Amino acid sequence: MTVTLPFPNETHFRVLLKHCEESSPDDVFFYDSSCGIEANHQQFLQDVYATRQGLLNGLPRVLFNDQDIIHEERPFICLLNQGNYEYIVAAFAVLILGGAVVPLSPNILPEEASHLMKQCQSVVLMAGPSVSDHASAIQQYALSQQQDIHVRSISIHSPQQLIRPSIEEAMIISPERPSMLVFTSGTVGPPKGVVHARRLLDLPYTPAKPGAYLNCISLWTVGAVRLIKHTLYARRIEIIRPDPGILWERLRKGGAAFLAAVIPVWQALMEYFQQNLDHLPAAQREEYLRGLRGLNTAMVTGGTLIRSRLRFWSDLGKPLKLCYGVTELGRICLVTRNEVSVDRNNCLGQPVLGTTIKLSEGDYGELLIKSPNVFMRYLNNPAATKAAFTDDGFYRTGDMVSREDTDYFFHGRASTDFIKYYGYQIPIPALEQQLNELPWVREGYILSMPDERCGYRAAALIRLIKDPNADLQPATFDLPNLRAQLTDKIAAFMLPTALRFLQEEETVPRTISGKIIRRDAARQFFPWARMDVARRRRYRCGWRGHRCVGRVSTGRGIGLGRRCEEDQP
C-alpha cells in the first residue's frame, strides 16, 4: 500500500524530499541503540507519517484548519526530549502540521512542565515509550490543577508501508510563524523562552555529507536545533551515549565525520585515552587514532578548553574546533581555526558566513551579532525582547569580547563572570584558565563569594588528578601553596582567597547543556560565605575530609589557611 505524506511548501521540506529521493534502501540514515533503531529514509518517513496521523486523529479538530495545519494562535507542541530518534520523528511530525516544537527535559518535574505548558498555551505533550510514565505523571498533575493536557505517543517501528512524500504547493506556511520554542540554559537567571521562526530551518540544498554525524550532546538549547538541521544534510546520524569507552570504540570502527561534545565529555575522552589506550601496542593504539583523525569536524560546545587540553588533542593529530553559539540565534556564530585555538586561551575564532559582528567599544566590549536566523521574541516578554537589541538591530549577547586581527576572544559574561573585588574586576574565565593549567588539577572552578569588606572575592573549587602517587593531595596542600603557584601567572588582586577540594563522589551543579551553575556551586560548596561574620567565626565545616581553608579572619583581612575544626560525624 502506498501512502502520500504531504510536505508543506517550504525550503527545508524540499531539501528533505531531495535527500529521500537520492537515498538507497540499504543506506542506514538513523542509528540509535537507545531505541533499537536502524532506520533508512523510508522507515523514518513511516514513523513521521504514523506520528503525524496520531496527532491528527487524536487531537480535537478545532486545533487544525482545513489543510490540516495547526492554527497559528496556539502553535506550540511540547516533546519530552531525550535527544534521540524519537525526538527527531516527533519534531518533523509537528513541523509538517505547521506546529512549533517545544523540547522539554525528560527529567522535568511535573509542576515545571505544567507551568511551561501554561506559559506557551500548549495542550499537547508528546512522549516516546521510554518516558510514557513520566508523561502520564505530568498529565495527572495538570489535571489536579484543572489543566487539560493531551498526551500523544511518538511512533517508532511503524508497520511497513510505502510512503511517498510530496510537496503540496498550496500548503504555504509563513516563514515568520514559530517553528521552535527553546528555553535558555539558565546559567544567568531563570530560563527564558526563545521563540524561533520557521526561517531558522531554511537551509539550501547540498548533497548529503558523507560519514556519520555522532550526536552525544544534550539537545536542550542550540543542540535541539542542531539535530533537526543534521537531518537535512547528513547522510547518517548516530545517537551515542557520552560514555568515553563507547565513544572511543565507535571512533575505532571508522566512518565518523562529525563529533560535537561539551567540555566534560572531551575531558573524559582524554582521561580514558591516557588511562586505557595510550599504553596499548602501537598497532592497536593506532586504530583508535585513525578513527579520531578521520573526523572532518571535532568540536567543543558550551565553553572553551584550556590550552593544555587543546594541545593534547592536537598532539594526537586531531585539533579541536571551539565555537560560540547563542540560543537566540539558533546556530553557531563563530568558530576557531585550529592553529589559533591551540595557542591562545578563550579564542572564539571568526564569524561564520552570514553573521555580522561588532563590539560595543571598538576592539573590546559587548559582543553584538546580527543574523538572518535571529529569534522572533521572548515568550510573553516584549520588554526583554526590545532590550535584547540595539537600535540598529544587533542582538546583545551580554558577553565581553576582544578582537585581535580577525579573531575574537572571550573575556566573560558581563553579569556573572567578573568578580567585583574592591575596585577591581576579576575575570573568572582568565583566572579559571590559569587554575586548570596547573598539572595536578583535574577540574578547577572559580566562584564568587560575597564579603562585607571587599564586596566579593574569588574562591577556588578543585578536583585533583586521579594519581595515587602524586605528591599533591588535599592533606598536604593548602591555599598558600595554590596562591604561590599562581603568583607569577596573574595579578595579585586576582589570586583566590578560599579553597575547597572536591571529593570523588561530589559533582558540581550544571545545566543540562553542561555549563556550571556558579551561583548554585557557591551555595553548595562555600555555604559559610553567606553567613554574617559572627556566625562565620563559629562555623564547622560539615564535609568529611574538607579543609575550610578560606574562612574570613576576625576582621583584619582574609584568612588564608585555617583548618576546619571538626569533621562531620
> What nine digits make up the cell of 525?
560548596
With a pLDDT cut of 90, the percent of the chain lying above it is 66
Question: Which candidate, 359, 369, 354, 292, places its Cα nearest to that of 324?
Answer: 369
Residue 54: pLDDT band by 50, 70, 90 thresholds?
Answer: very high
Which residues have CB under 8 Å from 45's CB, separation 6+? 5, 20, 163, 165
Question: Is pLDDT larger for residue 250 or for residue 465?
Answer: 250
Output the pLDDT for position 183: 85
Measured between alpha carbons, how far is 341 from 191 in angstroms, rounded to an integer? 30
Tens of pLDDT, residues 145-174:
999 999 999 999 888 888 999 999 999 999
> What nine digits make up the cell of 40?
533508512
Question: Which candidate, 110, 121, 126, 148, places its Cα nearest to that of 50?
Answer: 126
Could you identify the residue written with the cell 546556530? 331
Measured between alpha carbons, how far is 168 from 7 in angstroms, rounded to an integer? 6
Question: Which candidate, 345, 321, 341, 343, places its Cα nearest to that of 332?
Answer: 321
Measured between alpha carbons, how far is 517 from 496 in angstroms, rounded to an integer? 19
Please, what's the b/e burial string for 448-480 (b: 16 or more CB within 10 A of its CB; e: otherwise)? bbebeebebbbbbbbbbeeeeeeebebeebbbe
Can you tell me the mean pLDDT for 348-355? 93
Tens of pLDDT, residues 1-47:
789 999 999 999 999 999 999 998 899 999 998 888 999 999 999 99
Measured between alpha carbons, how far is 352 from 125 in angstroms, rounded to an integer? 35
Can you tell me the mean pLDDT for 493-511? 92
Output the pLDDT for position 500: 94
Measured between alpha carbons, how far is 481 from 178 in angstroms, rounded to an integer? 55
Output the pLDDT for position 566: 27
> Quick check: 4 and 15 in contact, CB under 8 A?
no
Measured between alpha carbons, how far is 170 from 308 in angstroms, rounded to an integer? 56
pLDDT of 121 higher than 50: yes
Angle between helix 132-144 and helix 110-119 axes, rounded to 10 deg: 70
Tens of pLDDT, residues 279-317:
999 999 999 999 999 999 999 988 888 888 899 999 999
Output the pLDDT for position 544: 37
Output the pLDDT for position 561: 33
Question: Is pLDDT larger for residue 534 or for residue 511?
Answer: 511
pLDDT of 366 higher than 70: yes
Residue 188: pLDDT band by 50, 70, 90 thresholds?
Answer: low
Question: Is pLDDT larger for residue 189 or for residue 536?
Answer: 189
Could you identify the residue written with the cell 563507547? 246
pLDDT of 478 higher than 90: no
What average pLDDT does the structure give for the chain? 87
- CATH class of residue range 209-413: alpha beta
Output the pLDDT for position 186: 61
Can you tell me the mean pLDDT for 375-402? 96
Can you tell me the mean pLDDT for 445-456? 91
pLDDT of 222 higher than 90: no
Output the pLDDT for position 426: 95
Backbone angles phi, psi at 479, to 5 degrees: -60, -45
The answer for 380, left when phi > 0, alpha when psi is -120 to 50, beta otherwise, is: left
Query: Domain 2-17+35-183 classified CATH 3.40.47.10?
Result: no
> What nine digits make up the cell of 253?
570502527
Question: What DSSP assignment string belongs to 53-70?
Answer: HHHHHHS-GGGB-TTS-B
Residue 249: pLDDT band by 50, 70, 90 thresholds?
Answer: very high
Output the pLDDT for position 339: 64
Backbone angles phi, psi at 207, to 5 degrees: -55, 145
Residue 550: pLDDT band by 50, 70, 90 thresholds?
Answer: very low
Q: What is the 3-state secondary structure (H, E, C) of 445-463?
A: EEEEEEECCCEEEEEEEEE
Output the pLDDT for position 556: 27
Output the pLDDT for position 470: 56
CATH 3.30.300.30 residue ranges of the chain are 418-537
The answer for 393, left when phi > 0, alpha when psi is -120 to 50, beta otherwise, is: left
Question: Is pLDDT larger for residue 390 or for residue 202?
Answer: 390
Can you tell me the mean pLDDT for 199-213? 87
Which residues have CB under 8 Å from 91's CB, separation 6+? 79, 101, 228
pLDDT of 65 higher than 80: yes
Question: What DSSP assignment string belongs to 94-108?
Answer: HHHTT-EEEEE-TT-
pLDDT of 386 higher than 90: yes
pTM of the full predicted structure? Answer: 0.84
Tens of pLDDT, residues 532-549:
444 444 443 333 334 444
Could you identify the residue written with the cell 510514565? 133
Output the pLDDT for position 568: 28
Could you identify the residue written with the cell 542550540? 222
CATH 3.40.50.12780 residue ranges of the chain are 209-413
Output the pLDDT for position 548: 43
Q: For the CA atoms of 156, 157, 161, 166, what is the dihedral angle to 10 degrees?
A: 30
Backbone angles phi, psi at 158, to 5 degrees: -65, 155
pLDDT of 116 higher than 80: yes
Output the pLDDT for position 451: 87
CATH 3.40.50.980 residue ranges of the chain are 2-17+35-183
Lowest mean pLDDT, pick from 20-29, 485-494, 522-531, 549-558: 549-558
Q: What is the CATH number of domain 418-537?
A: 3.30.300.30
Output the pLDDT for position 466: 74
